[in-house]
Structure 1
């Protein structure tokens, strides 16, 4: 009987808490949304399954302070989680994104980059909102990046500013908010098709949604090759702190566009980014143990994230409407493409395409929407660099 009692004492049934149940339900919701509705399955399935792993309770040996998952020193999950904590997963993901991205639509119509910049207003307003809610400046900076709808950038800046290791001049230790920030960022990225359409409809008229834009001009190979080189120099000089992200982004794009490194580009765009996505998703999910995730700070982060995403979408649409005031009738921009200025590539552009076809089955906006969409990726990385330069 003593042996049976010891067995039960070490089982998850004896150590489970309501917080674990709540977090596992969240994990089930992530898996349901990914499998049933195809909401960012490559992100939500690893994260959702990681949440289940991270919330299977175990007996805590007080003398050794043993913990499950990524918190157990020396465990495989703990070692893999260092890619999140140390911030080296996000640059590798940016390498893959660069190798997959075609910047032709942006090169053919550079003024659309302004829409990607306009959407970044969500980052800075969320930063101010986090300060107002009592977060320390470095924590607020990390939370603000959620407004860019860019998961890798959110993780990168969180690893620098909100990793629980920084000590402020007044002696306050910055909280470890990587898990809540990462989950919030990826959750709202997955919910792009749900969040953005109501905001777009609220801010545009039927007439504006029917605007037809001129087809993008053909872009030469020389322009495609020069773009990542010139883009790197310009953005890196503006925000050197963002170099690990934008440097890898433009490097990956050069591998693709040069035409002489197809094997490297294929590796970066397929097996490499897929591997890192799996490791990042499962470890971020496993870091969401109930005792460190279900806190007032996490609730505030999710509320700020929802508001920031709405603000970013509205900022992009408003930017397009303002630009139209200065453009001739034949050069007008469909304001809906401004919403794709957030960094959720290519989901946000697909939302705009779907909404455009719903209004007019012959009005294809995808290529136009990709311009602010990819510029949003660059913009969020630059914004992260600016915040790092002020807050580190």
Structure 2
């Protein structure tokens, strides 16, 4: 009998049931809600589904040593080299070591058409104005007693650019990488839920119904010179973000050159899909109860909402001004696409615009501010790292 009782006790401890906590239960519910939003509501499932399942794995107690460490401070081998210890730790290591964000930017560049931006350069102003939330959240974070470096890293969430937020956090606040990455990618996934109320609040039916003129054609020479010139200017002025911008523009040059179709297709499909899967699962797996359910993390999640909301509002308000100054020729909804969630924010501008005017086709117009937002967020990150880095 004692042997049986001992075996039962050992199994209970080994199975993880013994270590199951209320925090685990809360986070498992959160994971299931996120999976529901991804599957049933189609809220950017490419990001949200692997994030949700990563969170699900990390909060099954038996999985802590198998899939993901509670606090992945990797063990050292006999040579003193720090190595990951569990499956998802390897994914997380690729995030912390700044490997995945530039590779994802390479894929984004290969997928992105900068033509709408080149055809309508005023889009750069909308992309810049949509960084407003970055600085608002930074100020609020400093008031909440975060260090200036931590505040800068938290503020970048407002750019709605996951890879840039992760890259900035590794430079300025590596200790906050988990919650910052979670906030950035979660809000990117929830763009269709968060942005429309702000867009409707800051515009009228007449504004949203505005039909814009067709964009001019953009020549091949412009398309080829743009990534080369942009890389040189940004990398020489803001070296810290040179790797991100360089990979973004390399991907775009592969696309626009027309001579390396195999490389362009690989970057835009297989490479970015693999990197996104690894990064999203690792981000979700950092949402374990022990590190996630605390006041500091809740502050960061709240600041992410502030950052994202003010960034959307900044783009919309400049869009409103442009609507007036252009004689009602610019639809202000494209301003909300100035956050760099490509192409999610542009699609939201299209959907909201068509609800007020079914003849409205804003997608290509919104892509200008959208891709400008990618560059704008990278510039904001470069400024933060240059001024606040040690």
Aligned partner (choices 332, 338, 343) of residue 341 of structure 1: 338
Alignment match of 1:369 (pick from 346, 366, 369): 366
Q: Compared with structure 1, are the counterparts of its residues 7 and 142 closer, same or farther at alpha carbon in structure 2 (3 Å cutoff)? A: same
Q: TM-score, normalised to structure 1's length?
A: 0.92
Q: How does 1:129-144 map to 2 (within 5 A)?
A: 129-144=140-155
The answer as to whether partners of 1:57 and 1:68 remain within 8 angstroms in 2 is no
User: Given the two structures, how large is their TM-score scaled by the length of structure 2?
Assistant: 0.92
Cα deviation, 1:253-294, whole Å, max 9, x if unaligned, reads: 000000001111111000001001111111121122211111
Which of 359, 363, 379 is residue 382 of structure 1 equivalent to?
379
1:33-85 Cα deviation digits (max 9, x unpaired):
11111111111111111111111214999xxxx94585664323222211111
Deviation at 1:208?
A: 1.3
Q: Which moved more, 1:82-91 or 1:115-124?
A: 82-91
Structure 1 residue 391: Cα displacement: 1.3
Partner secondary structure for residue 110 of structure 1: coil
Q: Would you say 1:161 and 2:172 are equivalent positions?
A: yes
Equivalence for 1:183: 182
Q: Find the counterpart in structure 2 of residue 248 from structure 1.
A: 247
1:231 Cα offset (Å): 1.4
Which segment drifts farther, 78-87 or 89-98?
78-87
Greater mean deviation of Cα atoms: 153-162 or 368-377: 153-162
Distance in 2 between residues matched to 1:204 and 1:368, nearest whole Å: 17
* Residue pair 2:141, 2:303 contacting (<8 A) in 1 also: yes
Does residue 119 of structure 2 align to residue 108 of structure 1? yes
Q: Is the 8 A contact 1:69 1:75 kept in 2?
A: no
Quick check: 1:41 aligned with 2:45?
yes
| 8 Å contact kept, 1:353–1:366 | yes
Q: Distance in 2 between matches of 1:189 and 1:361?
A: 26
CA RMSD of aligned residues (A): 1.8
Give the Cα separation in 2 of the matches to 1:296 and 1:318: 33
Answer whether contact 2:57 2:63 (CA < 8 A) is retained: no
What does residue 302 of structure 1 align with?
301
Gaps of 5+ in 2: 76-84
1:96 is aligned to 107
Distance 1:263 1:346, change over 3 A: same
- Conserved? CA contact 2:179–2:286, under 8 Å: no
**Cα offset, 1:3, TM superposition:** 2.1
Equivalence map 1:275-354=2 (5 Å):
275-327=274-326, 329=327, 332-354=329-351
Map 1:117-132 onto structure 2 (within 5 A): 117-132=128-143
- Please state whether the residue corresponding to 2:138 is helix, strand or coil: helix
Name the structure 1 match of 2:78: none
Match of 1:152 among 135, 148, 163: 163
Work out the number of aligned pairs and report it: 374
The offset of 1:214, in angstroms, is 1.5
Q: Which residue does 2:273 correspond to in 1?
A: 274
Shift of 1:8: 1.2
Distance 1:144 1:59, change over 3 A: closer
Q: Which residue is 2:355 aligned to? A: 358
Cα distance between partner residues in 2 of 1:354 and 1:37: 15
50-59 or 296-305, which deviates more: 50-59
Asked if 1:17 is matched to 2:16, the reply is no
